[in-house]
Chain A
Amino acid sequence: MKINILAFGQIVDIIGTSSWTISGVDNTDQLELKLTHDFPGLLNTKYALAVNKKVIHQNTTLSHDDTVAILPPFSGG
């Protein structure tokens, strides 16, 4: 199962790319575990997760070809 990931803002710096695909995760909790394991910098970063453009607040089952976007807060004005 392939999941598309999109990163925004400073998340791109932590991960090194703004879009990639990931496999072997069935839900967003597993995805976050995998990401924080691979990129520990994420542990100190606040972000919102959206599955297919919808912001989620709890573990969400992922399906093939879903897109998960990782959005950090910006404060600049």
Chain B
Amino acid sequence: MSLLKNNNRYDRQIRLKEFGQTAQDNLNRAKVLVIGAGGLGCPALQYLASAGVGTIGIVDFDHVELSNLQRQILFNMDDIGKPKAETAATKIKAMNPEIQVHVYSFKITNQNALDIIVEYDIVIDGSDDFATRYLVNDACVLLNKPLVYGAVLRFEGQIGVFNVANLSTRIKSNYRDLFPVPPASQSHISCNDLGVLGVVPGIIGTMQAAEAIKILTNIGNPLSNKILTYDVLKNEFYEFQITENKGHSHQMPKDKAEFQAYNYEWFCSTHEPSLEINSTEFNQMRLNEELTIIDVREMYEQPVELEFPVIRMPLSRWEEDLLMISTNHTIVVVCQSGVRSLAAVKKLKVLFLDQNIYSLQGGIHALKNNDKLNLL
């Protein structure tokens, strides 16, 4: 402790009247976990270590590659092939030997995440896949830990602070308030596919460190309940105010047991909920629950009357009618052969994100054939 007090390592920030020795002491006592020692993690780690965050955890299971060096600035040619977390730890310890660094050279999973995160005051998410992002988000919500989120793509970056209440509203939002469910697997896009300009994670990762330092020292206004986007080409920032998304809560694991049973890889990669039900499933659903059945056939199509109540909504005037739909029931869309109804379901999905919506596979034709089979 005498070493900390007597050297002038932190002199330039202690001189700041808003910061001072109190903030420095807070930093020295603080524990920050950085998930991912990549493009975001490297600059974040450098600034956290140099600012004197007393304990830093680094989670990364990967090894340094040549293509990392363009943006992962803690590493050099000699580090290629070495484990990232350990290598990053060595580098920041060399920069500031007064801090403690804990290394987790394995993948963070729903089995180990809670035990690791609970040891820290703040988490910085510098991961590079949706499964980890949702997992870390949910773990931080369950443990009520501030999470500094950052993500980059090409020339753009996003940063935000989750699980930190606004002083006025007391509301705490998280990633699922912004994106309740991950993108479909085919639209997963990463820097590996589309590239990223190295300075973009440099800027966003540095901002993540800044947000962590602000929260730990209680200076300034953290980006809580907000997402700030940055476009390096236009030099533009745009701020989104996140509002509570009540619909997302059922997606989120509610306790440790649910969290550990949650299959994040599946949820984020292959999870493409079926948009279709077959006629047997349809008949079963009609028995079990109240359905809102939408018939998108044109008015002249036969048979006009079906053996169940429907809302007629011909696809030709679809757009005017669509906005009148208001239901909490499962929606089943039907047409003659199941082609138009599937297209309609895809459109409806955009408007009714959290509702079960299905197209009747094979349409009314299949339903009739199924009835015939039952009679035989």
Give the distance to chain B from A15, nearest Cβ to Cβ, in Å: 15
Contact of B239 among A45, A53, A59 (CB under 8 A): A53
A46 touches B240 (CB 8 A): no
| A71–B240 alpha-carbon span in the complex (Å) | 9
Q: A10-B153, A32-B350, A36-B347 are in contact. Are A77 and B36 (CB under 8 A)?
A: yes
| A8–B230 alpha-carbon span in the complex (Å) | 10
B187 touches A45 (CB 8 A): yes
**Which A residues contact B (CB, under 8 angstroms)?**
6, 8-10, 27, 29-30, 32-33, 36-37, 42-46, 48, 50, 53-57, 59, 69, 71-77
Determine if B376 is an interface residue (Cβ-Cβ < 8 Å). no
| A73–B241 alpha-carbon span in the complex (Å) | 15
Q: Which of B101-109, B174-182, B250-258, B327-335 contacts A (4 or more CB under 8 A)?
A: B174-182
Report 19 cross-chain contacts, Cβ distance below 8 Å, ordered by A residue. Answer: A6-B238, A10-B153, A29-B323, A30-B323, A33-B351, A43-B347, A45-B183, A48-B178, A53-B238, A53-B239, A54-B240, A57-B246, A73-B179, A74-B151, A75-B190, A77-B39, A77-B40, A77-B128, A77-B152
B184 neighbours in A (Cβ, 8 Å): 44, 46
Q: A44-B187, A46-B184, A55-B178 are in contact. Are A74 and B152 (CB under 8 A)?
A: yes
Determine if B65 is an interface residue (Cβ-Cβ < 8 Å). no
Determine if B156 is an interface residue (Cβ-Cβ < 8 Å). yes
Determine if B319 is an interface residue (Cβ-Cβ < 8 Å). yes
Determine if B288 is an interface residue (Cβ-Cβ < 8 Å). no
**Which B residues contact A (CB, under 8 angstroms)?**
36, 38-41, 125-130, 133, 150-154, 156-158, 177-179, 181-184, 186-191, 194, 196, 201, 227, 229, 231, 238-243, 245-247, 319, 322-323, 346-347, 349-351
Given contacts A6-B238, A42-B350, A75-B128, 17 further A-B contacts (CB under 8 A): A8-B229, A8-B231, A9-B156, A10-B187, A29-B323, A46-B179, A48-B240, A50-B240, A55-B177, A57-B247, A71-B178, A73-B130, A73-B178, A75-B130, A75-B188, A76-B153, A77-B201
B182 touches A46 (CB 8 A): yes
| A56–B156 alpha-carbon span in the complex (Å) | 22
- A-B interface pairs (CB < 8 A), number: 124
A42 neighbours in B (Cβ, 8 Å): 350
Contact of B240 among A27, A37, A69 (CB under 8 A): A69
A77 neighbours in B (Cβ, 8 Å): 36, 38-41, 125-128, 150-152, 191, 201
B156 touches A33 (CB 8 A): no
A75 touches B239 (CB 8 A): no
